[in-house]
Amino acid sequence: MWRLFLYFLVLSAVLTVLRFIILLVAEPIQRRSLKKRLGEGTDKTLESLVADWRKKAGRSLWFNFVGIPSVAFMAIILIAQYA
């Protein structure tokens, strides 16, 4: 049981790192897109929009990459252990 729980923790950590890498790669792309749309001289607005995008995308990615797979993996562990 402990070994499976350790697998669960490792899976969660790997998926969290994957989420961080995706946000790290996608942020400059989003920043360029917003800068092109807003034009020059709007750094405060741009930073605010990028922060909002990062928060929204981070939550969405966490739910899809960490939350759902972690719950599914934990359910499989519990079913395998007690069934």
Q: What CA–CA distance (Å, rounded) separates 21 from 69?
A: 18
Is the separation of the CB atoms in 73 and 14 below 8 Å? no
Return mean pLDDT, the chain: 87
Q: Taking Cα atoms as reference points, which of 21, 50, 45 lies closest to residue 33?
A: 50
Which pLDDT score, from 0 to 100, does residue 11 have? 84
Residue 39 DSSP SS3: coil
For residue 5, name the pLDDT band (cuts at 50, 70, 90): confident
State the pLDDT at residue 17.
Answer: 92
pLDDT in tens, 45-81: 888 999 999 999 999 988 988 888 888 888 888 888 8
Specify the pLDDT at position 41: 67
